[in-house]
Every structure is written in C-alpha cells, then in structure tokens.
Structure 1
Amino acid sequence: MPPTSAPTRLTDRKRVAILDAAVAEFRASGYEATSMDRIAASAGVSKRTVYNHFPSKEALFVRILEDMMSHGGDELDVPYRPDAPLRPQLMTLVQRKLQLLRDPQFTDLARVAIAAGLHHPALAREMIESLDQREEGLTTWIRAAAADGRLRAPDPAFAAMQLHALVKGFAFWPQIAMGQPPLTAAGQDTVASAAVDMFLAYYG
C-alpha cells in the first residue's frame, strides 16, 4: 500500500493493519487461497473486526486495487500546458506510468487480480472500471491538447487507450503473462520514446 501518515484512532489503525495484511496474503497466496480468517490472523484482529470494515473478501480486494490505482492515478494527473512542447509533456506522463508498472507490489496484485477475474466475472468488471477511471489523466491531457488544436484526436479516450497499449505491450503484459523481468531503466526510456514518437507521428 502507498505510504500514508500514521492513523491515530484505534479503528483506523486496525483498518490499515487489515489492508496491509490482506496485501501480503493476496501477494503470497493468491485470491482463491486467501481467506478472511488468514487475513484476520495476520492483522492481529478478530474476523468480526475484518468484516466490520469490509463486508466480503471481494470488497476488500477491490479496495486494495482502488487504493493502488488511486496512488498511480495521482502520478498521471499532469495538466496540459499550452505553452510547452508536446513531446516532453507526454514523456513525463508515460515515464510515470512506467514507474508504476515497475512496482513489484503492483505487478503481483495485478497478476492476482487477473487470475481472480477469470473465476469471478463481477470482480473482473469492477477491476476494469477502476482501471479505466484511474487512467483518465492521460485522456484528459489528450482532450486538452486536441481542443487546443495541437493534436488531431477526435476520440481522446481511444487515443489514450492506444498509447497505454503501446506501453503495456512491453512493460506490463510480458511481465504478467510470461514472467519476464521488469524493464531496465534503459528499456523504459526506449519504450517511452518509441511510444510517444509513434503517438505523435499519427496524432500530432
């Protein structure tokens, strides 16, 4: 979970302990093998306390993903600047996305989420909706650049999806699906530069 200031109320401290324990259990054992009993034991609280905070394992897992995506989404909220060149602005957005994708906790939980989604369609839908909302920052940037006449992107959401696909094709799916190692710093620079140049060549 992203670092936060230490909570002062006991109930808040318990909630943080539950979330931290759940992250560790999901990463270590996967979605199916993780139980609310194990999470409670790991957090040092009763199972009733866990259920007081989260009505189900699914709700707890979705909350973890939302927190994770929110943390990454904040990093992608880079406002469009009409007075600055497009390429450096896009490079900043893509490089921040690559930093998130390189986070081992993000990768582990994404792998757990994908596996869980295969058996729980409702959970998969919630995950996709959460991901779409957290990637809105790039769409907002593209929409602003298009409104300013600097990009030819009649469908900003589609254009953003294309750029995300260019990045994830090298820095997410090979690691999730085939166990490839995270990109090196040099590899990230190569992917970011190529993705941005391809995007601007088409939409610029």
Structure 2
Amino acid sequence: MSQTEIKNKQIIEAAIAEFQERGFAGASMDRISERAQVSKRTVYNHFDSKEALFKAINKCLFDQLQASMQITFDPNVPIREELRRLGWTQGNILVDPCAMNMARMMMGEILRDPETAENMNRRMDMVRPVKNFLDAAVSAGKLNITDTWVAAEQFLGLIKTRGFYPKLFGEQLSTRKEVEKIIEDAIDMFLCSYGVKA
C-alpha cells in the first residue's frame, strides 16, 4: 500500500468515526484531520469538501456490499452448501467492524436526509443478485420457488432481522459463531418452504 493510499484510508476511517459521532452537519474537517493525524491541507488534497468525503464513504460502503454479492450458483454443489455460501455474503459484513461502522454512519444520514436515502436505495440493490442466484437454483431443479424476488427478500430478511438490524442500532458486533447460527437457521426455514422434496 502506497503512502497516499495509507493516508486516504486514515482519512476515511477518521471521517467515519466523526460522522458517526456528530452526524454530517456537526462533523468538522478540522477534527477529521486531527483524528486521521494528518494536516488539514492533506485532507483537502484527498477530498475537496466534506460532501466529497461523505460521498467517498458512501461509495466505499456500496462497493463493498456489491462486491460481497457477486456470487454464482454452482449446480454441482449440494443446495445447503450453496445457500450457506450465499448467507455468508451477508454474514461477512456482520462480523466486519469497519463495514458495520460505515453502515451505522450511513443510517444516521439516511434518517437525517431523505435524498440520501433515495440515492442509497437506488444504488444498493441487494435483492437482485440473490434473486439471480435463486433463479439459477430453480433452473437446476435444486429449489422449488414460484416468485424468486419474494424468496430473495425473505432470505435476506431472515439474516438481517436477527443479524444486521440489532447490530446497526447498537448491539455488540456478532461473533462468527453467532452469525453461523443465524445463517443455518435461515437455511433451515428456507429449505422447509422451498426445498425440493424427494
């Protein structure tokens, strides 16, 4: 990692902490530079405004979530293992302190600014990749689903209701063992409804 990349990372991490603590309106570029242990000039060399810094964090979270969802169904693997792999695309976010801190910070801004919420909702299509995965599983005869869009929402909901939303609103970060239990429970319920009967 280059010196520029290191400083960029320091600034983004400091900004996440600052936005989380004080919100967008209360955040200060001076305090961000202090937290990042870089000069204010360095902060402005990387990001020309507080808005630009906030957008960079938004993009970072979006890119991380999108990258986590790039998963292709493998018809040669047992369906439970494939659903487990799908579940961990969400589970890995739940055990990542940086990702959860960014998510909490973004939630604060979504509540403050409806336009931010609209932009985030438009960009963060988390359901479609799951639907595509389930479409492939149905085509392979591994699942019996009439409406894969609804089933995708249900699968995500089973994990997020127990794993994501409680942590978003302040509970201690989940351990991998806790997330594993949530994912396995979600798979059990999902296969009860959509598993192919022998």
TM-score bucket (shorter structure): 0.7 to 0.9
Q: Specify the SS of the correspondent of 1:132.
A: coil
Instruction: Say if 1:154 and 1:55 are closer, same or farther in 2 by CA, change over 3 A.
Output: farther
Q: Specify the SS of the correspondent of 1:83.
A: coil
Give the Å deviation of 1:48: 9.2
Match of 1:113 among 89, 106, 110: 106
User: In 2, Cα distance between the equivalents of 1:182 and 1:48?
Assistant: 32
Matching of residues 144-183 of structure 1 within 5 Å: 144-177=136-169, 179-183=170-174
Structure 1 counterpart of 2:118: 125
Deviates more, 1:165-174 or 1:41-50: 41-50
The percentage of aligned residue pairs carrying the same residue is: 31
Instruction: Say if 1:118 and 1:87 are closer, same or farther in 2 by CA, change over 3 A.
Output: same
- Counterpart residue identity of residue 105, structure 1: C
Deviates more, 1:148-157 or 1:38-47: 38-47
Match of 2:178 among 181, 187, 191: 187
Match of 1:65 among 58, 62, 70: 58
User: In 1, Cα distance between the equivalents of 2:9 and 2:172?
Assistant: 30
Is 1:140 aligned with 2:129?
no
Structure 2 counterpart of 1:87: 80
Give the TM-score, by structure 1 length. 0.77
Contact 2:19 2:27 in 1 (8 A): yes
Measured against aligned partners, the alpha-carbon deviations of 1:123-159 in whole angstroms (never above 9, x if no partner) come to 11122233325x5432321121123333233443332
Is 1:19 aligned with 2:6?
no
Contact 1:77 1:138 in 2 (8 A): no
- What CA RMSD, in Å, does the superposition of the two structures yield over aligned residues? 2.8
Give the TM-score, by structure 2 length. 0.79
Instruction: Give the number of aligned pairs.
Output: 194
Measured against aligned partners, the alpha-carbon deviations of 1:160-186 in whole angstroms (never above 9, x if no partner) come to 121111101111111223x32233333
Instruction: Say if 1:65 and 1:153 are closer, same or farther in 2 by CA, change over 3 A.
Output: farther
- Ranges in structure 2 where 5+ consecutive residues have no aligned partner: none
User: In 1, Cα distance between the equivalents of 2:91 and 2:85?
Assistant: 10
